[in-house]
């Protein structure tokens, strides 16, 4: 969307109109925002005003943190942000089916990682979602902003009588490069970081031991974080079983147990 702004000097009557291009999604809303700045070539002060938009709660929150907007509003938003963070940082209190256990992994884009776990005998269910961040109920757009600290994760429900946790760990290490910080291939961002998120002390100990064994096989330090599983926010439905449903190009990939077909990460 093309918008024109006018820069007016407080010391002269001259003005300069410049075009700006703004990119919005369907839910983007803003209101009038004034940002002061100084021109290095003189002592005159300029003012940039963007108008005719309605502020969203998320934008209000970040503007408040930057010092813009009424104090009362800032206090209200800080309180709301604190409550949101508290929920997001709480434990994953979902309950697996009887006789089943949860495991949670972050290994880059969750599409290919989910398909790999879907193929494991003993895995009864997989879901992709967001965890470890500070925003309650984030959207995909929110986590891609880099401001919420969420990780793209796969939550695996499995039968420990048919599939050991160590088997899931072995697959986790084989599916990504745990030595690259906040990056897997061309995907860059904190949401792509490597992580093992445990539900029990036994899982924690197994994860640490597994990491130490795998470290001996690679030349660079492993940067995988090993942390308690926090609240799991299920991703939008179109992300679920994305590759099994056809992915970007409509070619469905097999979820058959034990399948060794190469995984095309984007379909």
Q: What is the spatial distance between Cα 215 and Cα 212, in angstroms, rounded to a whole number?
A: 5
Chain Cα centroid distance, residue 66: 22
Q: Are 55 and 66 in contact (CB under 8 A)?
A: no
Question: In Å, how far are 18, 40, 144, 241 from 13, measured between CA atoms?
Answer: 17, 19, 42, 60
Please check the confidence at residue 77 and state whether its pLDDT lies above 70.
no
Please check the confidence at residue 61 and state whether its pLDDT lies above 70.
no
What percent of the chain lies above the pLDDT cut of 70? 70
Q: Are 24 and 3 in contact (CB under 8 A)?
A: no
Q: Are 165 and 122 in contact (CB under 8 A)?
A: no
SS3 176: coil
Check residue 15 and give its pLDDT: 45
- Paired residues of 33 in beta bridges: 50
Q: What is the spatial distance between Cα 25 and Cα 1, in angstroms, rounded to a whole number?
A: 11
**Which residue from 104, 101, 105, 118 is spatially nearest to 158, judged by alpha carbons?**
101
pLDDT tens-digit readout, 169-205: 999 999 999 999 999 999 999 999 999 999 999 999 9
pLDDT tens-digit readout, 29-53: 443 343 444 444 444 444 343 334 3
From the list 109, 144, 259, 265, the catalytic residue is: 109
Q: In whole numbers, what is the pLDDT of the chain averaged over residues?
A: 80
Mean pLDDT for 230-235 is 98
DSSP string for residues in 95-108 = -PPTT-EEEEEEES
- Name the band, by pLDDT with cuts 50, 70 and 90, for residue 78: low
pLDDT tens-digit readout, 14-35: 444 444 443 434 344 443 343 4
- Crossing angle (nearest 10°) for helices 57-65 and 71-88: 110
Check residue 189 and give its pLDDT: 97
Check residue 164 and give its pLDDT: 97
- Name the band, by pLDDT with cuts 50, 70 and 90, for residue 120: very high
**Which residue from 38, 42, 52 is spatially nearest to 7, judged by alpha carbons?**
38
Cβ neighbour number for residue 4 with a 10 Å cutoff = 8
Is residue 109 flagged as an active site residue?
yes
């Amino acid at each position: 969307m093309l918008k024109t702004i006018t820069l007016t000097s407080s010391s002269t009557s001259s003005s300069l109109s410049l075009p700006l291009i703004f990119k919005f999604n369907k839910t983007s809303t803003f209101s009038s925002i004034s940002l002061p700045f100084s021109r290095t070539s003189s002592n005159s002060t300029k003012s940039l005003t963007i108008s005719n938009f309605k502020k969203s709660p998320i934008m209000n929150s970040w503007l408040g943190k930057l010092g813009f907007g009424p104090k009362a509003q800032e206090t209200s938003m800080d309180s709301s942000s604190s409550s949101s963070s508290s929920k997001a940082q709480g434990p994953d209190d979902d309950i697996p089916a009887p006789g089943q256990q949860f495991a949670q992994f972050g290994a880059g884009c969750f599409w290919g990682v989910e398909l790999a776990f879907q193929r494991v005998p003993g895995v009864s269910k997989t879901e992709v979602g967001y965890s470890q961040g500070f925003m309650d109920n984030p959207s995909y757009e929110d986590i891609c902003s880099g401001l919420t600290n969420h990780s793209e994760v796969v939550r695996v429900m499995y039968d420990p009588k048919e599939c050991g946790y160590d088997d899931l760990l072995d697959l986790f290490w084989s599916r990504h490069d745990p030595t690259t910080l906040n990056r897997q291939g061309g995907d860059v961002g904190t949401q792509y970081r490597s992580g093992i998120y445990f539900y029990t002390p036994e899982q924690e100990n197994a994860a640490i031991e597994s990491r130490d064994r795998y470290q001996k096989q690679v030349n660079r330090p492993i940067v995988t974080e090993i942390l308690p599983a926090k609240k799991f926010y299920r991703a939008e439905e179109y992300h679920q079983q994305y590759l099994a449903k056809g992915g970007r190009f409509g070619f469905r990939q097999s979820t058959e147990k034990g399948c060794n077909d190469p995984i095309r990460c984007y379909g």
